[in-house]
Structure 1
Amino acid sequence: MSAKFFALLTVIGANKLAKATALGTTLKITQMAVGDGGGTLPMPSEEQTKLVNEKRRAGINTLFIDSKNSNQIVAEQVIPENEGGYWIREIGLFDDEGSLIAVGNCPETYKPQLQEGSGRTQTIRMILTVSHTESVELKVDPSVILATRESVDNAIEIASKSILDTVEKEYATKDEVKKKFDNSNIVHEKGVSKEKVISQKGVTELFQPKGNYQPVVIMSLLRHLI
């Protein structure tokens, strides 16, 4: 049984990708369009230069290589809840010159408008299999991009790991601070009070360069030592 829903490179897209691969350049994918197919489910054709009945075209949110298949490129676009009022049956990818690079169809879905009493944010995804994924590049306008929950979660995970790696490499631990300083030389009793305060000698010692130790971090850790 042949597939009912699929995406493919157009003749223009295949030629541009082959040229980019041969010259060592990249094919810049910039936009995704959706359409209603003129009321019926269209069959994608390599000869297409446009969608059957385009309803919306806007910048792509993200384009990435599938982590489970290195020959698959995944393109995503988020349609905000305040746009809609049409059916979605066809999808197209366009480059920075406005050429239709890839076209596909999808199970029909209605994108409502808020004025109709129901609104939702909808993510449209197209998956393409190509032989040279390194020849495809995403070009976006960051001022009009909406993030999917998945892309935000991935960005947070990457940023968190980077911060932890930096902290581990650059900042002193509490035990390291204990080894670096002698408490008896850093604090003294204030008059008859048993309260401990940082001595002048301690302050001077703290702000002397100590390899990669950071004075601000050491001061913070010192509060727990005294």
Structure 2
Amino acid sequence: MSDFKAILTDLGQQLITTAYQAGEVVTVTQMAFGDANQQPVTVDPAMTALIHQTAILPLTRGPQTEDIIGGGIDILSSDYPDSWIYECGLFDDDGNLIIYASYPPALVPPDVDNVKKGVSIDIGLVMSSTDGITVYVDPEIEALTKAVADTLYFKLDQNFAELEDEDHGDEAKAEAREHLGCGTAAVHDVTESSEDTTTDRVLKVGDYNLGLKDITSQSFDFNVYEFISGQRMLVDLANCTNVPADLLASYAANSFPSFVIACTDNNAGYETQVVEIIVVPTWFDTPMLVMNRDNSGNWSSQRFYSTTHKPTAGDVAALPIAGGTMTGRITLSGNSALDFPETTYVNQAIGRTGTYATSTLDYRWELFAISVADQTIRSNIITVDITDISKGASTSGGGTNSTTQITLAAGLHVSYQVVPGDYGNFDSRYIADIQLGAVGQTTTWNQSGHWPNKAGYVLTSVSKDTEDYNIDVVYYAPLQKKTKTGSWVTVAGGV
């Protein structure tokens, strides 16, 4: 019996059992090999790592049957020349040793003579149940065998003959034609004449003027002509009868009879009645027409506008430049503005209102005046800034009053009483009253220094007797301000 074998490690058994009980799987993804210090190997289920690992590589192939957990790798001489192989092991994607195996000593050939060489090693372990464990081979590095390749690719010398076998058939041929871009045309015959309308025939160059460089002009009765979908033709209106009024008006306006007509739709059985055609003039300054003929033989039309034939304001229900009345609202997006020019007076100006945002400012609305002469801002009348418009109770934002700032360039003149909605700013920024606090004193006749030497305190008086030149006592008190809340606060500074 061979001394070389593979075993399931205790760690592997534990991980598989835990994964199975949790409805999960242990995924084996890589194999390591080593030289075991070039000593005989005794496999031990308690092992958690190779004795002396050389490298760990992603699997390039998996097990051949469902009851085996295993895989293989290819060790190239270009990567690991002269390396001995005594041991190998399969690891999961977390780096845990699941299966350990001893291996007949093998030497990776030296990397010489520019010939690609190496050693392929495979290990596998028959499992009573493979629930809780699986093997994953990255398809980007999977080794391709001939047997696998024959199921994936066509052979060059067979010219798609593989599609004829019983495993493929007509369905496979149809899919192949679709992937080759042939569609259904590859199995249909071409037309036998330029007027052939046989079902499923493929049109060839010349049919209904298809693909021709020079198109022959045609004339016919518009009320009875049988238009065919996909048909294109050059029409001489001068020799046609029952020409629709809109088309006739275009012809009369330009005195040029040639139009290219392309039929885009018709109803089977009603080719001489219901039809849609596109009429393209052969000169550039006349609009294209889409014309429809109903089942009563009546024609209607729609125009294509272009840079050479632009619609009027009335055509598109717009206001002309000359002015008009707008009944809805105007919404400006981005850094947009509205200008209101004033040209009557000597100092001509443009009143402008607009909005924009910056990286630190969510919204700004401005109203200002611009000089007509040099486009400079002459008077910034009012500015409204909002810095957190994205905040609020709903996804539409809203901001708060504390983040809205209104700036008036020339001051605010109000004829009536101003009543704030929030006195919070007044409490901290305005003084209701001032006073001197409790008086303190310091004896100074026998010491040097400066007094009162306290922030916010002021000198109130000094005392001196007649015995010498020194001041005997200094008196001082804190200067205090009263806020709207009634609190007395000592002012800062002064030391």
TM surpasses 0.5: yes
Question: Does 2:126 align with 1:124?
Answer: no
SS in structure 1 opposite 2:14?
helix
CA contact (8 A) 2:77 2:118 kept: yes
Change (3 A) 1:98 1:89: same
Structure 1 partner of 2:108: 111
Return closer, same or farther for 1:109/1:171 CA change in 2, 3 Å cut-off: closer
Letter matched to residue 37 of structure 1: A
Q: 1:187 pairs with 183, 188, 192, which one?
A: 192
SS at match of 2:94: coil
Q: Counterpart in 1 of 2:35?
A: 36
Which residue pairs with 1:168 in the alignment?
Answer: 170
Of 94-103 and 129-138, deviating more is 129-138
Alignment partners' CA distance in 1, 2:195 and 2:60: 56
What's the counterpart of residue 75 of structure 1? Answer: 71
Q: Match of 1:98, as an amino acid?
A: G
SS, match of residue 62 in structure 2: strand
1:93 to 66, 75, 90: 90
Is the Cα–Cα contact under 8 Å of residues 63 and 70 in structure 2 kept in the other structure?
yes
Residue 29 of structure 1 contacts residue 94 of structure 1 at CA under 8 Å; is this kept in 2? yes
Q: Whose relative contact order is higher, 1 or 2, with alpha carbons under 8 Å and at least 6 apart?
A: 1
* Letter matched to residue 205 of structure 1: D
CA contact (8 A) 1:34 1:54 kept: yes
Structure 1: 4+ residue segments shifted above 4 A:
115-119, 140-143
Equivalent residue number for residue 201 of structure 1: 196
Distance 2:57 2:117 in 1: 17
Larger Cα-atom Rg? 2
CA RMSD in angstroms, aligned pairs only: 3.4
Instruction: Give 1:81 deviation, angstroms.
Output: 3.4
Is 1:11 aligned with 2:13?
no
Give the secondary-structure state (helix, strand or coil) at the position aligned to 2:63.
strand
Q: Percent identity?
A: 25
Cα 1:206–1:139 change in 2 (3 A) is same
Q: Residue type of the partner of 1:26?
A: V
Which range moved further: 24-33 or 79-88? 79-88
Amino acid at match of 1:40: Q
Are residues 41 and 206 of structure 1, via their aligned partners in 2, closer, same or farther at CA, if it must alter by over 3 Å? farther
Offset of 1:204 from its aligned partner? Answer: 6.5
Q: Deviations over 1:176-198 (max 9, x none)?
A: x9xx97x7x9436xxxxxxxxxx
- Say which SS state the counterpart of residue 90 (structure 2) adopts: strand
| Partner-residue secondary structure (3-state), 2:100 | strand
Q: TM-score, normalised by structure 2?
A: 0.33
TM-score (norm: length of structure 1): 0.67
> What is the aligned residue count?
182
